[in-house]
Amino acid sequence: MQISGNTKMMGIIGSPVSHSLSPFIHGFFAKQFSDDVIYTTFDVAPENLSAAVRGAQALGIIGFNVTSPHKSNVLKYITALDISAQHISAANLLKLTDAGFIGYNTDIYGVQMAFRHRDIDVAGKKVAIFGASGTGRAAGSAMAQEGCKKITFINRTRSKAELAASMLKNHYEIDISVCDIESFDKVDDDILIMAVLPGIVPRNLQRFPVIFDANYSPSGCCPEAFGGLEMLVYQAAQTYEILRGIPVPKEMVDEALNILLNGGGHAN
């Protein structure tokens, strides 16, 4: 694609972020649509987050995804929140408007569609979520909306798990509880969602019939484990529609996902 003075800019902020597959996914969508837009990464340290958001607004960047460690802290610097982000106090997408940036959460949709893509029915199931950050809270919201019976948050810092549970209880009438990390070995729910940084893998996960890992590479602890590539591509599709006003058809989502599942599109 030839860049011109009319080319729009999108991107993703986080730290680290150079490994992100989002530039490939959005570049793929833009190419299919012949859309005059580019998407790149911005490595932003926590102490520079405020300046980065102000700078993006001043430069007219039409929107950007937000990843670790900024999904909660970025809320301090935006104008308004879409209901998706309000429920869990975490935004992974900012859209520029005349009044400033509006925060959205497309991770919720990404998790929902990842399970649907694998034909995994969540209704009536008990779900354990290991991790209570923005991703964990988004996963909890997704599971509640899909009709699960119970959610249990497990986190190294119990207060963070309690906060996540409290947020969801304000919006969903299901059983939501907290488990100390020392008691995790006793948890035997139907589904385990791993929503922590890569490399944090609890022991003895084989007892869970279904394991979802929000990271790109699944833990691989049992044959049913699957990774976060589906989540990533589907949330990207919703992101693209919000920022560009162009719905991404399922066939295009599946094509991008198949490229990634076969090892393509990876950052060097």
Judged against a pLDDT cut of 50, whether residue 22 lies above it is answered with yes
Helices (H), the chain: 22-33, 49-59, 83-86, 107-117, 134-145, 158-169, 229-244, 250-261
Taking each helix axis as running N to C, give the angle between helix 229-244 and helix 22-33, from 0 to 180 degrees, rounded to the nearest 10.
50
**Is 265 or 43 the better-scoring residue by pLDDT?**
43
Q: What is the pLDDT of residue 217?
A: 62
DSSP state of 21: S
Q: What tokens does 218 get?
A: 């699944």
| CATH classification at residue 79 | 3.40.50.10860
Judged against a pLDDT cut of 90, whether residue 143 lies above it is answered with yes
The reply to whether 159 and 132 lie within a common domain is yes
Judged against a pLDDT cut of 60, whether residue 53 lies above it is answered with yes
Per-residue pLDDT tens over the stretch 183-241: 999 999 999 999 987 767 777 888 999 999 998 765 555 546 787 899 999 999 999 99
Judged against a pLDDT cut of 80, whether residue 21 lies above it is answered with yes
The reply to whether 183 and 101 lie within a common domain is no
**C-alpha angle 93/145/165, rounded to 5°?**
80
Per-residue pLDDT tens over the stretch 144-172: 999 999 999 999 999 999 999 999 999 99
The reply to whether 25 and 42 lie within a common domain is yes
Q: What is the pLDDT of residue 228?
A: 87
Domain count, the chain: 2
The reply to whether 22 and 100 lie within a common domain is yes
pTM of the model: 0.93
Range 76-103 average pLDDT: 95
Distance separating alpha carbons of residues 43 and 15, to the nearest angstrom: 5
SS3 category, 57: helix
Question: C-alpha distances in angstroms, 85 versus 75, 81, 102, 137?
Answer: 9, 6, 10, 10
The reply to whether 221 and 128 lie within a common domain is yes
* Residues marked as catalytic: 71
The reply to whether 202 and 238 lie within a common domain is no
Residue 200 falls inside a structural domain: yes
The reply to whether 209 and 135 lie within a common domain is yes
Q: What is the pLDDT of residue 219?
A: 52
Residue 1 falls inside a structural domain: no
| Domain hosting residue 202, numbered range | 120-225
| CATH classification at residue 195 | 3.40.50.720
Average confidence score pLDDT of the chain = 92
Residue 2 falls inside a structural domain: no
